[in-house]
Structure 1
Amino acid sequence: MKYTLSIAILTLIGTQAFSQVPEDVIRLNWNPVSGTARSQAIGGAIGSLGGEITNNFVNPAGLGFYKLSEIVLTPGFTLGHTESNYRGSDARSNNINRFNVSTTGFVSANSDPGMNWVSKAFSIAINRSANFNNTIYYKGNNDHSSYSEQFAEEFSRSGVPFSDVRYSPYLSLGTKEAIYTYLIDTATTQNGLEVVGRPEYLNSVNQQNQIDTKGGIIEIAISYAANLRDKFYIGGSIGIPILSYERTSTFLESDPNKDVTNNFGYSRFEEKSSINGVGFNAKFGVIFKPEQQTRIGISFNTPTVYGLKERYTAKMVTDLENLFAPNYPGVDSIDQSYYGQDPEYKYDMSSPWKFLLSGSHVFNAVEDVTQQRGFISADIEYVTYGSSKFSPADQGDDQSYYDDVNKVVKGMYKGAFNFRVGGEMKFNTFMTRLGFAHYGNPYENSPVSSGKTLLSGGVGYRNSGIFLDLTYVYTLTHDAHFPYLLPAPKSNVYADYKSKIGQILVTIGFKL
């Protein structure tokens, strides 16, 4: 992540109670393709394969391969953990384990072999396109910086006098609470009168951070596709994603020496935010069969335009030991209610564009799919993360704030390639499958090799109009988390973490 952007991010938090709006681009959009057990077993590489209900959410032209109608249900179970390293200290956290539902719905197909348009299909399906259930925990000793410095920097740059802090619209809630609990204060230094964080007087501080997230995106897709002479397939889809996201974080900073005479024992900052909303998108695609065994697909997804509502609360507790009087407990706490705030914001967000090129080869590619012996398939996807935009929901909102956010987004993120490949081998009514996928680094600059890698495998059964698939998907996410950002020339500390998530999927379907 580009450190020089920290100044820009800090300037954003003056007009909002929090500074994480640009992060929405990644936490809401950097998600692997989800689908049925069959599609997941082959790494999600279904862009040109066709005949799969997951095509609703990837390349709707694939629905044109259907000659019979079907009903599909896909329950799943997710489990995993996160490993982190922060300032040389290792930590581990267990993630939330829970049941969920992946691609489920129906396809209504009709065929007329005597016509140019051999078959047509209509489908309605739902899919969990994002899963936010996760926990990140890290801890370590920091002799480089204190999280109080972000609040000191903001207050110093704001020019707001102490007398106006309580109701000032130009200070974030965290900075107001840091002032109230005396976590930051004015002091005379070699540079004159400055705003400083009290932990800056210590040689080092112990820090720990736990971030719990939950929720997801459930998308409803309505699609239509048609088949021209079993050579050319075209389809379109309208998507309605329903988003629910909740984030709770607790950052604790404390004196490692437990010295009761240095006027700082600990400070704890608790934040909770939730984002809810509904969006709209469209997907279009084509698949061409130059030969019976070869399929080439092209598709694109328009940005999802979301209408979002976000709520944010924060509480700070600080122990200043005997700063004010002997034997004074020194512990003070404050939350947003003191400032007459229960922050709620409405804004719009458009997600990145997605472009997909795919190809597949079918072994023994005859019309009777029961006689086919398997396939290999691959997708190359390009996602324009830096093109994501935020805008005000109401005409009276401050457009300049969102213009600044969009500049930060464009500077922080870039377009990235995603690669998916997989295959299936058929043994009469039984099938075995393997898949691999890699989702590229969306950051312009990152201190770690950020990315997501998926390994998958599964088995399937097809007979008498009934099919049953079982798949296991292992997802490794490597990324960096910055607990706070400080302006240049100061450098920023970060946690290097790896989330290791396992998912079991079962799909049952019926041909009609």
Structure 2
Amino acid sequence: MPILSQAQSDEDALRYSMLGFGGTARSLGVANAFGALGGDFSSLAMNPAGIGIYRSSEFVFTPGLTHFDNQSAFYGSATNADKYNFNLSNLGMVFTNMKTGKANADNGWVATQFAVGYNRLENFNNRLIYTGFNDRNSLTSLYVEQLNANGGTNPGSVTGSFPFGAGLAWETYLINPNFNDSTSYYTEIQGGNIQQTKTLETSGAYDELDFSFGGNYGNKLYVGFTLGVPIVDYNAVVTYTEEDVQNVHDNFNQMTLTDQLNVNGAGINGKFGVIYRVNDYLRLGGAVHTPTALGLTDVYRSTMTSSLDTSGSYGYDSPTGRYEYSIVTPWRAIASAAITMKQYGFISFDYEFVDYSAAGFNFNRIGSVDDITLETALNNTINEKYTGAHNIRVGAELAYEVFRFRGGYAIMGTPFASGFAEGSADFARSTYTLGAGIRDEHFYVDLGYANTRSTEYDTQYNFSDGNGANEGATIDKTVSNFLLSLGFRF
């Protein structure tokens, strides 16, 4: 996430497209490989045909605890940061209508189901810190680039033209006009040689309200449809500092930039699914998720402070910005198979394809030339930078009387096209899961644990002309998710 967080970027589209692990503790315990199994509330968000498996009504809720741990490397310096988050992973009810006298029928409609509830599909909570000594450039070098572009900028226009960027540095005397040309500028922090530190604190989630309809035909064919209403709440605070730790600059001690971004919105999508029971031991499943249309609103503001050797300390606040736009996230296709061993358990497999290059922005609510130009540029970047990803989930459950023991493994493929990942930071995710539970006729309790690892990359700022490129941070990220599900059948 670059410092200039008020500007939309391709990373925003990826944030709302690359969804993680949520649902019930049972589903989590088998790495969410539930596409051909059903009979679990997480089916609403994966393969809605799974609610067709239900033969009774059910209420379930799942609280969770998530731990985020980040190991960052930046200019040769290693930093660790972590965060805990308590959350609600899901909550909902399934209502089942069994046809009288049809419970064991091999033709006709045996049962219909309706389900309503909430599933958390991505947890945005995180805490990231990295620090290092940059001997190349400063953030203020980027501001100078902004002001000197296209023939320069009149001093009286700096703050109004760049209220969230160069205007902040101008008002805190970190950049000044050249004596022989007042429309060109220089920075007090020439050539870098500063300690840079970035702290990113995020919160919020990508949740979904699901309304699902299912059916059981002849105890062989199960169908389902989910109308999904995703709800986005993303909050980020970026604190960025530069400090003259070696005292090499004549008129600079320290500067701090704080960016705040709040994103809220909602959307709509559809999910269609089918499960076919080949025999008592084999089930096959398939599901298609339509693209999700999200209407989002960004609210953002920035604050900068500076400490200078010769003239003291300064501070300046930007105005509060607000921008409305929409994002369409990609469609998904899921193919599943499961081997069931009656009272002994099951082994299940899911394959999912999602094309991240199909995501796109729409800024035409406002319709200005600048909006349309930015929209076109961003969508071209998404189409070029991202690609289709292959996700695989495998899980197993062993049953002994009322006890259940589970394990699973999942791979979420890189979203990047060839050549666009920064070294090993390809954002692919690898997840190991474990679970256990007790289930009887009217009540169950399940525990689930998932450990997800990925390598990511974060930049502080980028120069548009490619000069003085700033090194980013490589981040080894580990997310540990603990879920507890309580369910009641009636």
- Three-state SS of the structure 1 residue aligned to 2:21 is coil
The match for 2:357 is: 386
Q: Distance in 2 between matches of 1:212 and 1:69?
A: 41
Structure 2 residues without counterparts, runs of 5 or longer = none
For 1:434-453, list aligned pairs within 5 A. 434-444=407-417, 445-447=420-422, 448-453=425-430
How much does 1:244 deviate? 1.0
Distance 1:384 1:396, change over 3 A: same
Q: Distance in 2 between matches of 1:499 and 1:119?
A: 44
The match for 1:402 is: 375
Q: Distance in 1 between matches of 2:357 and 2:372?
A: 19
Q: Distance in 2 between matches of 1:150 and 1:414?
A: 30
Amino acid at match of 1:161: N
How much does 1:394 deviate? 2.7
The match for 1:332 is: 314
Percentage of matched positions with identical amino acids:
30
Q: Distance in 1 between matches of 2:456 and 2:139?
A: 20
The match for 1:424 is: 397
- Tell me the alpha carbon deviations over residues 3-56 of structure 1, each in whole angstroms, 9 at most, x when there is no partner: xxxxxx99xx8xxx8334322112233221311000000001111111111110
The match for 1:4 is: none
The match for 2:189 is: 199
User: Retained in 2: the 8 A contact 1:454–1:476?
Assistant: yes
- Tell me the alpha carbon deviations over residues 44-78 of structure 1, each in whole angstroms, 9 at most, x when there is no partner: 11111111111100010111111111111111122
Alignment pair present for 1:343 and 2:318: no
Q: Distance in 2 between matches of 1:111 and 1:392?
A: 48
Q: Distance in 1 between matches of 2:179 and 2:74?
A: 32
Q: 1:88 aligns with which of 58, 76, 81?
A: 76
For 1:227-266, list aligned pairs within 5 A. 227-259=216-248, 262-266=250-254
- Three-state SS of the structure 2 residue aligned to 1:292 is coil
How much does 1:494 deviate? 0.8
How much does 1:489 deviate? 5.0
More deviation, 423-432/20-29:
20-29
- Tell me the alpha carbon deviations over residues 432-488 of structure 1, each in whole angstroms, 9 at most, x when there is no partner: 000111222112311124222221101111113211111122222320111111232
Q: Distance in 2 between matches of 1:188 and 1:141?
A: 30
Amino acid at match of 1:167: G
User: Retained in 1: the 8 A contact 2:159–2:168?
Assistant: no
How much does 1:396 deviate? 4.4
Alignment pair present for 1:139 and 2:127: no
The match for 1:367 is: none
The match for 1:5 is: none
- Three-state SS of the structure 1 residue aligned to 2:165 is helix
Amino acid at match of 2:451: Y
Alignment pair present for 1:162 and 2:155: yes
Amino acid at match of 2:98: S
For 1:188-227, list aligned pairs within 5 A. 195-202=185-192, 204-227=193-216
Q: Distance in 1 between matches of 2:217 and 2:74?
A: 57
- Tell me the alpha carbon deviations over residues 70-125 of structure 1, each in whole angstroms, 9 at most, x when there is no partner: 11111112223221111110111121x23211122111112332451222211111
Q: Distance in 2 between matches of 1:250 and 1:395?
A: 30
Distance 1:150 1:122, change over 3 A: same
For 1:164-179, list aligned pairs within 5 A. 164-168=157-161, 171=162, 173-179=164-170
Amino acid at match of 2:291: P
Alignment pair present for 1:183 and 2:174: yes
Amino acid at match of 1:334: Y
User: Retained in 2: the 8 A contact 1:18–1:172?
Assistant: no
How much does 1:262 deviate? 1.5
Q: Distance in 2 between matches of 1:342 and 1:194?
A: 27
Q: 1:122 aligns with which of 114, 119, 123?
A: 114
- Tell me the alpha carbon deviations over residues 329-382 of structure 1, each in whole angstroms, 9 at most, x when there is no partner: 2x222111xxxx321111111112211111111124xxxxxxx21111111112
- Three-state SS of the structure 2 residue aligned to 1:200 is coil
User: Retained in 2: the 8 A contact 1:253–1:266?
Assistant: yes
Amino acid at match of 2:315: S
The match for 1:27 is: 15
The match for 2:455 is: 478
User: Retained in 2: the 8 A contact 1:346–1:393?
Assistant: no
Q: Distance in 2 between matches of 1:230 and 1:38?
A: 23
How much does 1:181 deviate? 2.3
- Three-state SS of the structure 1 residue aligned to 2:309 is coil
- Three-state SS of the structure 1 residue aligned to 2:330 is coil
Q: 2:89 aligns with which of 78, 102, 114?
A: 102
Distance 1:292 1:342, change over 3 A: same
Q: 1:111 aligns with which of 98, 103, 112?
A: 98
- Three-state SS of the structure 2 residue aligned to 1:407 is helix
Distance 1:381 1:196, change over 3 A: farther
Q: Distance in 1 between matches of 2:402 and 2:155?
A: 75
Distance 1:250 1:472, change over 3 A: same
Amino acid at match of 1:460: G
Amino acid at match of 2:378: V
How much does 1:393 deviate? 6.2
RMSD (CA atoms):
2.3
- Three-state SS of the structure 2 residue aligned to 1:450 is coil
User: Retained in 2: the 8 A contact 1:50–1:62?
Assistant: yes
Size of the aligned set, in residue pairs, is 476
Amino acid at match of 2:130: Y
User: Retained in 2: the 8 A contact 1:431–1:461?
Assistant: yes
- Tell me the alpha carbon deviations over residues 167-190 of structure 1, each in whole angstroms, 9 at most, x when there is no partner: 23xx3511211222232344599x
Amino acid at match of 2:341: F
How much does 1:505 deviate? 0.9
How much does 1:283 deviate? 0.6
- Three-state SS of the structure 2 residue aligned to 1:506 is strand
More deviation, 289-298/415-424:
289-298
Q: Distance in 2 between matches of 1:74 and 1:135?
A: 24
- Tell me the alpha carbon deviations over residues 231-281 of structure 1, each in whole angstroms, 9 at most, x when there is no partner: 22221100111111110011111112124x611212211100100111111
